[in-house]
Amino acid sequence: MKIVTVPTTPFSGQKPGTSGLRKKVKIFAQPGYLENFVQSIFDSLSGYEGKTLVLGGDGRYFNEVAIQTILRMAAAAGFGRVMVGQNGILSTPAASAVIRKHGAFGGIILSASHNSGGPEGDFGIKYNMANGGPANETFTDAVYRRSQNIDFYRYVEAADIDLGSLGESQIGNLVVQVIDSVADYAELLESLFDFEKISNLLMRPEFRMRFDAMHAVTGPYARAILEDRLGAPAGTVVNGIPLPDFGGGHPDPNPVYAADLVAALADPRSGLSFGAASDGDGDRNMIVGRDFVVSPSDSLAVLAANYMHVPAYAGGLSGVARSMPTSCAVDRVAQSLGIPCFETPTGWKFFGNLLDAGSVTLCGEESAGTGSNHVREKDGLWAVLYWLNIVAARNEPVAGIVRDH
């Protein structure tokens, strides 16, 4: 195993935001730019030698190039194993699920979320801790400080790993395990929801849904779960093939960028009664009923109020949390249920301590993110299944459920 040490100088501005470091692809593609930041992450960690790292991204442009680089650097750093999603694909909530299930030391997620992709678009990278959640500010500040005085990075000389084939290979002493991107995540979701009840709903001739994956990461997940496991008709998932430029679209699930979906649900000729969409890395969601778009803040409140219809939460909620800009609708629900409601700064990482302490079960934010204690990231497909479980249990349309709420 030959470890190469490359002298380098710092790049300005490598300060992670609430969701890691996001820049234009052209910036990340500069020689040494990605390497400096990854080395800064490794240099800010301790005790990872021989441990497992999870790695994957949303499939946007530069994803596979970055993964091959990170694998070589992880080998040089001394990690024992890297679990990487097949074809480099791992949605953000799926990465969190894999970290937690396999007891990984942490994970690197490559995504710029709902930002545009392609050579002229954006790229992003963030580190997630052993709990599966985004790194806290103490760690990201340490990474930034290191990035501003870094003078070398290391990698192992090796050929590219075949990311398309499941199984194990090696880079030096590092075991690279290419895993099924969907399996662990789908298994987790099946343990939370009443799949039989949802399946019966999806196979009713009078109930038709459409899931718009926006040519982003959730396409394979939605097909595997909605169509293959739950029996939704083929074609329920549209724009389901992840593309490096998201098909030229903007993978942000809102009425502007998912206008076709909103229009289809407003057209009685479509026969659709339920619509949903998710974003670039799979952590945001939009729920649409017949001629009715559910606002993110209302969605969180409705999910909390209908907890009794979902098996994993039917025993009761320990509490709920929302970001500061999110409406107080969920506060009213918490008050009526006699449970605490917490307000946090913007950024999903701020829900982590509450979730780890068992203080909250559900949480959400105004920017179309909702989630629960099943992972430590917001989760778009989880929210869609939660809504389907409610619709199936109550046998009411989306608009009726929200208006009744």
**DSSP H helix total and E strand total for the chain:** 14, 18
Query: Residues 6 or more apart from 251 whose CB is under 8 A from it?
Result: 114, 116, 117, 214, 215, 216, 257, 279, 280
Output the six-digit token pair for 128: 């997630």
Catalytic residue among 19, 91, 96, 113: 113
Angle at the Cα of 309 from the Cα atoms of 369 and 273, rounded to 5 degrees: 65
Helical segments of 306-359, H only: 329-337, 352-356
Question: Which candidate, 216, 201, 284, 207, places its Cα nearest to that of 251?
Answer: 216
For 229, other C-beta atoms within 10 Å of its C-beta total 16
Angle at 285 (CA atoms; ends 85, 207), nearest 5 degrees: 105
Strands 341-344 and 122-128 come out as unpaired
Residues 6+ away with beta carbon under 8 Å from 263: none
Name the strands in the sheet holding 52-57, side by side, starting at the edge strand that comes first in the sequence: 21-24, 122-128, 106-110, 52-57, 81-89, 174-179, 167-171
What is the chain's alpha carbon radius of gyration, rounded to the nearest angstrom?
Answer: 21
Looking up tokens 């099943």, which residue turns up? 374
Residue 147 falls in the annotated catalytic set: no
- Using an 8 Å Cβ cutoff, are 188 and 97 in contact? yes
Catalytic residue numbers? 113
